[in-house]
Amino acid sequence: FGSSSGSKETIFFGWSPDSLRKHMANVIYNIPCCGGFCAPTVNPEESCLKHVSNEYTLPASGVYLKASPVIESNFVCRSCGRFGLQAGRDFRKPLMIGAAAVNFLGCILSIFAAMGLASSYGGLMFGHWVYGEITIADMPLKMYLGVSSRVLAVECASDDCMSFVSGTDFTDEGDNIYAKEQDDETCSNSFGSDAIIGICEECKDNQYSESTLILGVITYWPTMLTNFQRSTEFGDVNCQKFFGRDTMCSRGALLHRQLMEIGGVQAR
Protein backbone atom coordinates (compact mmCIF):
# COMPACT_ATOMS: atom_id res chain seq x y z
CA PHE A 1 0.00 0.00 0.00
CA GLY A 2 1.05 3.62 -0.33
CA SER A 3 -0.12 7.20 -0.56
CA SER A 4 -1.79 8.57 -3.66
CA SER A 5 -0.03 11.44 -5.41
CA GLY A 6 -1.24 14.91 -4.44
CA SER A 7 -3.29 13.52 -1.58
CA LYS A 8 -2.72 12.38 1.97
CA GLU A 9 -5.27 9.59 1.59
CA THR A 10 -3.72 6.15 2.09
CA ILE A 11 -4.46 3.55 -0.56
CA PHE A 12 -4.68 -0.11 0.49
CA PHE A 13 -4.05 -2.40 -2.48
CA GLY A 14 -5.89 -0.01 -4.79
CA TRP A 15 -8.72 0.67 -2.31
CA SER A 16 -9.30 3.99 -0.59
CA PRO A 17 -10.33 3.74 3.09
CA ASP A 18 -13.94 4.70 2.31
CA SER A 19 -14.20 2.27 -0.59
CA LEU A 20 -12.63 -0.49 1.48
CA ARG A 21 -15.06 0.08 4.36
CA LYS A 22 -18.04 0.05 2.01
CA HIS A 23 -16.81 -3.09 0.29
CA MET A 24 -16.22 -4.95 3.56
CA ALA A 25 -19.60 -3.84 4.91
CA ASN A 26 -21.29 -5.04 1.73
CA VAL A 27 -19.56 -8.42 2.07
CA ILE A 28 -20.80 -8.74 5.66
CA TYR A 29 -24.34 -7.65 4.81
CA ASN A 30 -24.55 -10.29 2.08
CA ILE A 31 -23.47 -13.22 4.24
CA PRO A 32 -26.22 -15.82 3.68
CA CYS A 33 -28.85 -16.31 6.38
CA CYS A 34 -27.62 -13.78 8.94
CA GLY A 35 -25.58 -10.99 7.31
CA GLY A 36 -28.63 -8.84 6.65
CA PHE A 37 -29.56 -8.72 10.34
CA CYS A 38 -27.15 -5.83 10.92
CA ALA A 39 -27.50 -4.14 7.52
CA PRO A 40 -28.94 -0.63 7.02
CA THR A 41 -32.35 -0.95 5.42
CA VAL A 42 -35.01 1.20 3.80
CA ASN A 43 -37.76 -0.94 5.31
CA PRO A 44 -40.26 1.54 6.84
CA GLU A 45 -41.10 -0.94 9.61
CA GLU A 46 -40.51 0.72 12.99
CA SER A 47 -40.13 -2.44 15.06
CA CYS A 48 -37.03 -4.61 15.33
CA LEU A 49 -38.52 -6.92 12.70
CA LYS A 50 -36.94 -4.72 10.03
CA HIS A 51 -33.60 -6.30 10.95
CA VAL A 52 -34.81 -9.79 9.97
CA SER A 53 -37.06 -8.72 7.09
CA ASN A 54 -35.35 -6.40 4.64
CA GLU A 55 -33.71 -6.26 1.24
CA TYR A 56 -30.52 -7.89 2.57
CA THR A 57 -32.20 -10.85 4.26
CA LEU A 58 -33.76 -12.06 1.03
CA PRO A 59 -32.35 -15.31 -0.37
CA ALA A 60 -29.44 -14.47 -2.69
CA SER A 61 -29.82 -10.81 -1.78
CA GLY A 62 -26.63 -9.87 -3.61
CA VAL A 63 -28.08 -10.78 -7.00
CA TYR A 64 -31.77 -10.47 -6.19
CA LEU A 65 -32.41 -7.24 -8.11
CA LYS A 66 -30.53 -8.49 -11.14
CA ALA A 67 -32.45 -11.76 -11.11
CA SER A 68 -35.83 -10.24 -10.17
CA PRO A 69 -37.34 -10.68 -13.67
CA VAL A 70 -36.80 -14.41 -13.24
CA ILE A 71 -37.37 -14.99 -9.52
CA GLU A 72 -39.81 -12.20 -8.67
CA SER A 73 -41.80 -11.00 -11.67
CA ASN A 74 -42.37 -14.29 -13.45
CA PHE A 75 -45.88 -15.66 -13.92
CA VAL A 76 -45.60 -18.36 -11.24
CA CYS A 77 -44.42 -16.04 -8.46
CA ARG A 78 -46.87 -13.29 -9.38
CA SER A 79 -49.74 -15.78 -9.44
CA CYS A 80 -48.70 -17.17 -6.07
CA GLY A 81 -48.40 -13.67 -4.63
CA ARG A 82 -52.03 -12.88 -5.47
CA PHE A 83 -53.42 -15.57 -3.19
CA GLY A 84 -53.94 -14.89 0.48
CA LEU A 85 -56.41 -13.87 3.16
CA GLN A 86 -57.02 -10.39 4.50
CA ALA A 87 -56.69 -11.79 8.02
CA GLY A 88 -53.18 -12.91 7.14
CA ARG A 89 -52.24 -9.34 6.26
CA ASP A 90 -53.93 -7.87 9.34
CA PHE A 91 -52.22 -10.30 11.73
CA ARG A 92 -49.00 -10.75 9.78
CA LYS A 93 -46.60 -10.00 12.64
CA PRO A 94 -48.07 -12.24 15.37
CA LEU A 95 -48.67 -15.05 12.87
CA MET A 96 -45.12 -15.05 11.54
CA ILE A 97 -43.53 -14.58 14.96
CA GLY A 98 -45.66 -17.42 16.31
CA ALA A 99 -44.70 -19.64 13.38
CA ALA A 100 -41.01 -18.87 13.92
CA ALA A 101 -41.34 -19.67 17.64
CA VAL A 102 -43.00 -23.02 16.89
CA ASN A 103 -40.30 -23.87 14.35
CA PHE A 104 -37.58 -22.88 16.82
CA LEU A 105 -39.07 -25.18 19.45
CA GLY A 106 -39.32 -27.95 16.86
CA CYS A 107 -35.67 -27.42 15.94
CA ILE A 108 -34.56 -27.74 19.58
CA LEU A 109 -36.60 -30.91 20.04
CA SER A 110 -35.23 -32.35 16.80
CA ILE A 111 -31.66 -31.63 17.90
CA PHE A 112 -32.38 -33.42 21.17
CA ALA A 113 -33.86 -36.34 19.24
CA ALA A 114 -30.77 -36.40 17.00
CA MET A 115 -28.70 -37.30 20.04
CA GLY A 116 -30.14 -40.76 19.52
CA LEU A 117 -27.74 -41.07 16.58
CA ALA A 118 -24.96 -41.71 19.10
CA SER A 119 -23.55 -45.20 19.45
CA SER A 120 -21.45 -44.91 22.62
CA TYR A 121 -22.53 -45.72 26.15
CA GLY A 122 -22.25 -42.11 27.31
CA GLY A 123 -24.13 -40.79 24.28
CA LEU A 124 -27.02 -43.24 24.39
CA MET A 125 -27.30 -43.08 28.17
CA PHE A 126 -28.20 -39.40 27.70
CA GLY A 127 -29.92 -39.42 24.30
CA HIS A 128 -31.52 -42.87 24.11
CA TRP A 129 -34.94 -43.29 22.53
CA VAL A 130 -35.82 -46.54 24.32
CA TYR A 131 -34.71 -47.74 27.73
CA GLY A 132 -35.29 -51.09 29.38
CA GLU A 133 -34.13 -53.18 32.31
CA ILE A 134 -33.94 -56.94 32.60
CA THR A 135 -32.38 -59.34 35.11
CA ILE A 136 -30.40 -62.28 33.75
CA ALA A 137 -28.63 -64.73 36.05
CA ASP A 138 -29.01 -62.30 38.95
CA MET A 139 -27.32 -59.58 36.90
CA PRO A 140 -29.30 -56.33 36.40
CA LEU A 141 -28.93 -55.47 32.72
CA LYS A 142 -29.82 -52.09 31.26
CA MET A 143 -30.57 -51.50 27.58
CA TYR A 144 -30.21 -48.14 25.83
CA LEU A 145 -31.53 -48.07 22.26
CA GLY A 146 -30.90 -45.23 19.84
CA VAL A 147 -31.70 -44.61 16.19
CA SER A 148 -29.39 -47.25 14.76
CA SER A 149 -27.34 -48.52 17.71
CA ARG A 150 -27.91 -50.08 21.09
CA VAL A 151 -25.88 -50.44 24.26
CA LEU A 152 -26.11 -53.16 26.89
CA ALA A 153 -24.83 -52.12 30.31
CA VAL A 154 -24.47 -54.14 33.47
CA GLU A 155 -23.40 -53.01 36.93
CA CYS A 156 -21.27 -55.76 38.39
CA ALA A 157 -21.46 -56.22 42.14
CA SER A 158 -20.24 -59.82 42.34
CA ASP A 159 -17.26 -61.88 41.29
CA ASP A 160 -19.45 -64.01 39.00
CA CYS A 161 -20.52 -60.93 37.08
CA MET A 162 -16.95 -59.68 36.80
CA SER A 163 -15.87 -63.09 35.56
CA PHE A 164 -18.63 -63.11 32.93
CA VAL A 165 -17.95 -59.67 31.44
CA SER A 166 -14.20 -60.19 31.41
CA GLY A 167 -14.58 -62.83 28.73
CA THR A 168 -16.86 -60.78 26.47
CA ASP A 169 -16.73 -57.56 24.48
CA PHE A 170 -17.93 -55.47 27.42
CA THR A 171 -15.77 -52.45 28.22
CA ASP A 172 -15.17 -50.92 31.62
CA GLU A 173 -16.99 -47.58 31.89
CA GLY A 174 -15.98 -47.02 35.52
CA ASP A 175 -17.89 -47.44 38.79
CA ASN A 176 -18.20 -51.20 38.12
CA ILE A 177 -20.31 -50.53 35.02
CA TYR A 178 -19.51 -52.53 31.91
CA ALA A 179 -21.09 -51.73 28.56
CA LYS A 180 -21.23 -53.27 25.12
CA GLU A 181 -22.04 -51.27 21.99
CA GLN A 182 -23.91 -52.96 19.16
CA ASP A 183 -24.86 -51.58 15.77
CA ASP A 184 -25.42 -54.77 13.79
CA GLU A 185 -28.82 -55.98 12.58
CA THR A 186 -28.59 -59.52 13.94
CA CYS A 187 -29.81 -58.59 17.45
CA SER A 188 -27.30 -61.03 18.90
CA ASN A 189 -26.42 -60.83 22.59
CA SER A 190 -23.89 -62.43 24.88
CA PHE A 191 -26.58 -63.61 27.30
CA GLY A 192 -28.55 -65.79 24.89
CA SER A 193 -31.71 -64.07 26.08
CA ASP A 194 -34.86 -64.39 23.98
CA ALA A 195 -36.29 -61.33 25.75
CA ILE A 196 -33.42 -59.12 24.56
CA ILE A 197 -33.73 -60.49 21.04
CA GLY A 198 -37.49 -59.80 21.06
CA ILE A 199 -37.06 -56.20 22.19
CA CYS A 200 -34.30 -55.64 19.65
CA GLU A 201 -36.31 -57.12 16.78
CA GLU A 202 -39.34 -54.98 17.61
CA CYS A 203 -37.28 -51.79 17.70
CA LYS A 204 -35.38 -52.75 14.55
CA ASP A 205 -38.63 -53.06 12.60
CA ASN A 206 -39.50 -49.49 13.61
CA GLN A 207 -36.01 -48.16 13.02
CA TYR A 208 -35.96 -44.45 12.30
CA SER A 209 -34.23 -43.18 9.19
CA GLU A 210 -31.03 -41.29 9.99
CA SER A 211 -31.32 -39.16 6.85
CA THR A 212 -34.88 -38.17 7.75
CA LEU A 213 -33.80 -37.12 11.23
CA ILE A 214 -30.88 -35.05 9.95
CA LEU A 215 -32.98 -33.39 7.24
CA GLY A 216 -35.61 -32.61 9.85
CA VAL A 217 -33.05 -30.59 11.83
CA ILE A 218 -31.52 -28.85 8.80
CA THR A 219 -34.79 -27.73 7.20
CA TYR A 220 -35.97 -25.90 10.31
CA TRP A 221 -33.46 -23.07 9.75
CA PRO A 222 -34.65 -21.94 6.28
CA THR A 223 -38.24 -22.30 7.47
CA MET A 224 -37.59 -19.93 10.39
CA LEU A 225 -35.83 -17.47 8.07
CA THR A 226 -38.87 -17.56 5.80
CA ASN A 227 -41.14 -16.77 8.76
CA PHE A 228 -38.98 -13.78 9.70
CA GLN A 229 -38.70 -12.54 6.12
CA ARG A 230 -42.48 -12.54 5.72
CA SER A 231 -43.11 -10.79 9.05
CA THR A 232 -43.24 -7.36 7.36
CA GLU A 233 -45.08 -6.33 4.22
CA PHE A 234 -41.88 -4.78 2.85
CA GLY A 235 -39.97 -8.05 3.10
CA ASP A 236 -42.75 -10.35 1.90
CA VAL A 237 -41.97 -10.40 -1.82
CA ASN A 238 -43.53 -12.78 -4.33
CA CYS A 239 -40.62 -15.21 -4.53
CA GLN A 240 -40.38 -15.37 -0.74
CA LYS A 241 -44.08 -16.16 -0.49
CA PHE A 242 -43.64 -18.92 -3.05
CA PHE A 243 -40.55 -20.17 -1.22
CA GLY A 244 -42.45 -20.09 2.08
CA ARG A 245 -45.21 -22.28 0.71
CA ASP A 246 -42.66 -24.62 -0.82
CA THR A 247 -40.76 -25.05 2.47
CA MET A 248 -44.00 -25.57 4.39
CA CYS A 249 -45.09 -28.27 1.93
CA SER A 250 -41.65 -29.88 2.16
CA ARG A 251 -41.76 -29.86 5.95
CA GLY A 252 -45.29 -31.29 5.85
CA ALA A 253 -44.14 -34.14 3.61
CA LEU A 254 -41.12 -34.73 5.86
CA LEU A 255 -43.32 -34.75 8.97
CA HIS A 256 -45.64 -37.28 7.31
CA ARG A 257 -42.66 -39.49 6.56
CA GLN A 258 -41.42 -39.18 10.13
CA LEU A 259 -44.81 -40.16 11.55
CA MET A 260 -45.05 -43.11 9.18
CA GLU A 261 -41.61 -44.35 10.22
CA ILE A 262 -42.26 -43.84 13.92
CA GLY A 263 -45.44 -45.87 13.57
CA GLY A 264 -43.53 -48.65 11.86
CA VAL A 265 -45.36 -48.15 8.57
CA GLN A 266 -43.31 -47.97 5.40
CA ALA A 267 -44.67 -45.45 2.91
CA ARG A 268 -44.69 -46.78 -0.61
A 10 A CB-CB count for 141 gives 19
Strand partners, 132: 143
Per the model's pLDDT, the better-predicted residue between 195 and 177 turns out to be 177
Contact 219, 111 (CB under 8 A): no
Asked if residue 136 has pLDDT above 80, the reply is no
Q: How far apart are CA 78 and CA 90, in angstroms?
A: 21
The model's pTM: 0.68
pLDDT tens for each residue of 182-212: 765 666 666 666 766 776 666 665 555 677 7
Q: How far apart are CA 219 and CA 212, in angstroms?
A: 10
Alpha helices in 92-172 (DSSP H): 92-114, 121-127, 159-166
Q: Determine the pLDDT at residue 101.
A: 94
Q: Determine the pLDDT at residue 6.
A: 46
Rounded percentage of the chain residues whose pLDDT exceeds 90: 4
pLDDT tens for each residue of 45-80: 889 999 998 888 887 776 777 777 777 777 777 777
Q: Determine the pLDDT at residue 98.
A: 94
pLDDT tens for each residue of 78-127: 777 777 777 777 888 999 999 899 989 988 988 888 888 888 888 888 88
